[in-house]
Amino acid sequence: MMDTSNVPTGPRENPELEEISPPMTVVGPVAWLRANLFSSPFNTLLTILAVLFLAWVVPPFIRWAFIDATWTFPQEVIEGVRGPNRGDCTASGACWIFIQARIGQFLFGFYPADERWRVVLVFILTFGAVTGMLIERIPFKKQNAIFLFLILPILSFWLLLGGLGLEVVSTRLWGGFMLTLVIACVGIVLALPLGILLALGRRSDLPVVHLLSVMLIEFVRGVPLITVLFMANVMLPLFLPPGTTIDPLLRILVGFTVFTAAYLAEVVRGGLQAIGRGQYEGAASLGLGYWSMMRLIILPQALRISIPAIVNTINGAFMDTTLVAVVGLYDFLNIVRTGSRDANWIGTEIDGFVFCAAIYWICCYGMSRYSISLERKLDTGHKKR
């Protein structure tokens, strides 16, 4: 006869049953290892290969970059008897005194040493204002935005370029990390709105607007950035009345901005396509006009979807600033490479590259982390209709 004593007949009334913690095979470090690293023979193989690879690469790098590296100048250099050179790096590892000796140039290019405080001031103001915008808890967002987008550009322009009581510093002297940041910030800040307009233009019903947007986007995307930069450098002056000269940096900024905008336009267009017709109809049925509809309903959603791709494009654009070297500008990478070609520092290319890579990585990783947190914050967690 069947034992029915264990078969529940009515509502279960033992509350303890619901509070049992899961077995050790489900939670805990061992379970985690099993689930994530050794879940199948193939996964186990990958885990072992990855561990071997790390063991092969990481310890030598740490030895080179930290343990065997030269961090300090020799006594004579500190006392000012002579300048430092590659020969002072006697250890087998990295030669970090190369970076220390040249750091001013790497950061500011040929910007006069006595005027570098202006660059530092611009950097601090920008960094402060951007941080204020990005971190949600900090108040005064509106005032901050006005400062960041209206006052700061004018102030920075004056501080960096000079005039009105400050010594004029020609853009030919700008260089290093400062130049990289100027090109990246100006380019990206201008390219984003331009890219959004191009994306809207490409989806426009107005044939002229549509055609112009498509032509610009497809032309710029069909050409390498180097070509755009060369063209901006050489051809832009041809379109202007003879006799007018434009600052070489300005030409590059125009080319860089248009190039980045074309790519952002396609990214934003992708986001716009993901917004269903219902959103347009919902907004239209309330009497919203085209621009209000775009600004309040469509773009906030389209841009949120596009955040990963936008940040990807911006990251790429930040890296692409190194290409301005081909038209003779000394951006961060170019000036570090030039530094290691100095007769005193022959043999420091790798040290220079590693230093550059570390700085670029910090910047880009920071951007990508912020974009992830932004995505989480803006995620109202729900599918669109």
Partner 1 sequence: MSASATAQALPTEVQSTDVMISMTDVHKWYGQFHVLKNINLSVHKGERIVVCGPSGSGKSTMIRCVNRLEEHQRGKIAVDGIELTRDLKNIELVRREVGMVFQHFNLFPHLTVLENLTLAPVWVRKLPKKEAEDAAMHYLDRVRIPEQASKYPGQLSGGQQQRVAIARSLCMNPKVMLFDEPTSALDPEMIKEVLDVMIELARSGMTMICVTHEMGFARTVANRVLFMDRGEIIEQNEPEAFFNNPQSERTKLFLSQILHH
Rounded least distance, CB 204 to partner 1, Å = 14
Q: Is 209 in the site for partner 1 (CB under 8 A)?
A: no
Q: Is 281 in the site for partner 1 (CB under 8 A)?
A: yes
Nearer to partner 1, 224 or 300 (CB): 300
Among 278, 308, 328, 366, binds partner 1 (CB under 8 A): 278
Q: Is 273 in the site for partner 1 (CB under 8 A)?
A: no
Nearer to partner 1, 178 or 299 (CB): 299
Nearer to partner 1, 215 or 286 (CB): 286
Among 249, 283, 336, 356, binds partner 1 (CB under 8 A): 283
Up-side HSE of residue 34: CA atoms within 13 Å toward CB?
A: 8
Rounded least distance, CB 290 to partner 1, Å = 8
User: Which residues share a beta bridge with 331?
Assistant: 176
Nearer to partner 1, 232 or 298 (CB): 298
Q: Is 296 in the site for partner 1 (CB under 8 A)?
A: yes
Rounded least distance, CB 203 to partner 1, Å = 18
The CA distance from 260 to 220, in Å, is 9
Nearer to partner 1, 350 or 378 (CB): 378
Q: Is 282 in the site for partner 1 (CB under 8 A)?
A: yes
Q: Is 304 in the site for partner 1 (CB under 8 A)?
A: yes
The CA distance from 66 to 87, in Å, is 18
Nearer to partner 1, 9 or 285 (CB): 285
Stretch 67-86 residues interacting with partner 1 (CB under 8 A): none
Q: Is 45 in the site for partner 1 (CB under 8 A)?
A: no
Among 301, 313, 321, 322, binds partner 1 (CB under 8 A): 301
Q: Is 374 in the site for partner 1 (CB under 8 A)?
A: no
Among 292, 308, 357, 365, binds partner 1 (CB under 8 A): 292
Identity of residue 52: L
Determine contact, residues 166/159, Cβ cutoff 8 Å.
yes
188 contact partners, CB below 8 Å, separation of at least 6: 260, 314, 317, 318
Q: Is 12 in the site for partner 1 (CB under 8 A)?
A: no
Q: How big is the site for partner 1, counted in residues (CB under 8 A)?
A: 24
Among 34, 141, 377, 384, binds partner 1 (CB under 8 A): 384
Rounded least distance, CB 200 to partner 1, Å = 17
Q: Interface residues with partner 1 (CB under 8 A)?
A: 278-279, 281-289, 292, 296-297, 300-301, 304, 378, 380-385
